[in-house]
Structure 1
Amino acid sequence: MGEADLFDDAVFDATNGGLPPDCIETPIESVTRQGSVGRYLWVIDSLGLKIILEATPNPKRTTRPIVCHTNITGGKPALHGGELWFGADDKVYINNASGRYGNAEPEQWEAVLAYFTFIGYEVVSLPFLFG
């Protein structure tokens, strides 16, 4: 319930890099624990990279009343997805933790890391959580 709703107003198009408005920069100690503070969800779809703050309320979801990856796409397909933190050290930390869009294939993960670098982020790969 509520998982296919598009939260377009809360999604940041990061295809050209940059930081979302009111970006939450997370201390590195919290990032390495992959905690919920400052955690964003990301997906790469046919148009580029999109992110949303995971703490964004989604009252239609009864199990967890916050957004999920499919709220970025409106339930449509994506190439890959996971979690992201903007570190206080100006690096972007990502993993592939997405029940719908995650993928543990090493070649695809290397392509994801290369894409993040290509659009201007200094990216750090966090441990795989799915696969």
Structure 2
Amino acid sequence: MALFDDFIFDATDGGKPSETIVTPVDEIKYERSVGRYLWVIDRYGLKLILEATPNNALARGIVCHTNITGGEPALQGGELWFGDDGKVYINNKSGRYGSATPVQDAAVFDYFVSLGYDVVQLSGHTTG
């Protein structure tokens, strides 16, 4: 069992973590840390973790994308908020697993939709 397994939500079948933090849409547009989840698509599906989850091994004190994967490869990663309007807001901002092209952004968007989420893409691709 990996160190953060108890905090990782398997969202491959859609849905939300049991104690989901819902964020007002007006706050999401600023991409603030309150209610921010990290997401990763790996070979098993979509995984989420609340970014505020403590990680004392890192100087920043909270988890990062590799805490979801255990340092293993992933297809894409980014940040996510559950809006108070029922929509899921995502970006592709991961220093390790971020997208490199608009085509990858579109594929991620389509994947979230295929899982049943009503998705809003917040920003374009990153180079990380």
Give the TM-score normalised by the residue count of structure 1. Answer: 0.93
TM-superposition CA deviations, 1:9-59 (whole Å, max 9, x none): 100000000010110000001100000000000000001000000000001
Question: Partner residue of 1:16?
Answer: 13
Q: Secondary structure at the match of 2:117?
A: coil
Question: Partner residue of 1:91?
Answer: 87
In 2, Cα distance between equivalents of 1:114 and 1:129:
15
8 Å contact 1:6–1:75 — kept in the other structure?
Answer: no
Identity score, percent: 63
In 2, Cα distance between equivalents of 1:73 and 1:109:
20
Question: Partner residue of 1:122?
Answer: 118
Query: What RMSD, in angstroms, separates the aligned Cα atoms of the two structures?
Result: 1.1
8 Å contact 2:101–2:125 — kept in the other structure?
Answer: no
Which runs of at least 4 in structure 1 moved beyond 2 Å after TM superposition?
Answer: 128-131
- Among 104, 108, 122, the alignment partner of 1:108 is 104
Amino acid in the other structure paired with 1:106: P
Q: Secondary structure at the match of 1:86?
A: strand
| More relative contact order, 1 or 2 (CA 8 Å, 6+ apart) | 1
8 Å contact 2:102–2:125 — kept in the other structure?
Answer: no
Between the two proteins, the alignment pairs up a number of residues equal to 126
Question: Partner residue of 1:72?
Answer: 68
1:57 aligns with 2:54: yes
